[in-house]
Structure 1
Amino acid sequence: MKTIITTSRLVLREMTQKDYPALSLILQDTQTMYAYEGAFNNIETQEWLDKMLARYKTDGFGLWAVILKNTKEMIGQTGLTYQSVYDDKVLEIGYLFNRKYWGNGYATEAAIACKEYAFGKLNASEVYSIIRDTNVASMNVAIRNGMLIRTRFIKHYRNMDMPHFAFSVRNKQ
């Protein structure tokens, strides 16, 4: 398993098929997945994991497993993916965590580390977080990561039009 980033409390590493059970606890939880209009089923969870494994090969990054250093438990996923905002392809920091670990600052810690990775290792000029307009907790993570709202747009997902905000922060170097 390839380690990408370490922070004081977390290790971010590439996911493997062995992470499916921990990933299921996140993606198949209705409350966690409210911004996606519902939990995933087994097939959708496997497709999500397969997409991340493919992104590691094609892009060199994707959403990574977030591992608690002290317990070695996978508590979430955070990382970088290419997403669309209108017709622009942007580099996004995404994060999804097991609900039992919410409120501990892990998402912020991991998102900041991803921003630093994008600016330092990938020489990105700007990174985004694309957040559904009802997801206040994720908006707060983006704000703590130094991001500002750049635009509001509609994403079509699961046969629905969902308003989203595109937050971003620019590399100052």
Structure 2
Amino acid sequence: MRRVVYTLTALMGLSSLLFSCQDTTKPNYQFFPNMYESVAYETYSESNAFKNGKEGQLPAQGSIKRGFVPYELPNTPAGYEASKGMNSPLESSEANLEKGKDLFNIYCISCHGDKGDGKGKLVQREKFLGVPSYKDRAITVGSVFHVETYGLNAMGSHANQLSKKERWQVAEYVMKLKSELK
């Protein structure tokens, strides 16, 4: 019986020595260490994954993003003048005007005002000065679309925020506001 007690005591002492030094926070032996501890890369650091090692790959020449329809007029004064002869491809409907009003209230009202008179909240607080009234401008639905696409003077482009259809809807609503200002 003594031998069993001594053996059990020896085994418990030996096991406590072996397991007390074990670090349970990480494995002792790793078969594939790169899977456990991956190499950290800086976001904009040089990489040999690309041809020249410095910059990312560019899209193929002439490619356009899915769903994007290119605008054929250039961002020049001549392009602006040519846009004045364009007509909206959308049918004139109450739904398009309502959607145009909703988008105008999101993107345009802070500068141009709810009536298109150039007296939005930012103008009243003197953050922007010189926003013209639609009544004073010789604009058409095509020129409004052109300015929404490229921007003009202090107004930036809204082509990233609004799709082509949405820009036409806003342009039609702007023309409705212009007709009400007379």
As a proportion of its length, which structure holds more helix?
2
Return the structure number with greater relative CO, CA threshold 8 A, min gap 6.
2
Larger Rg: 2
| TM norm structure 1 | 0.21
Query: Greater strand percent: which structure?
Result: 1
TM-score, L = length of structure 2: 0.21
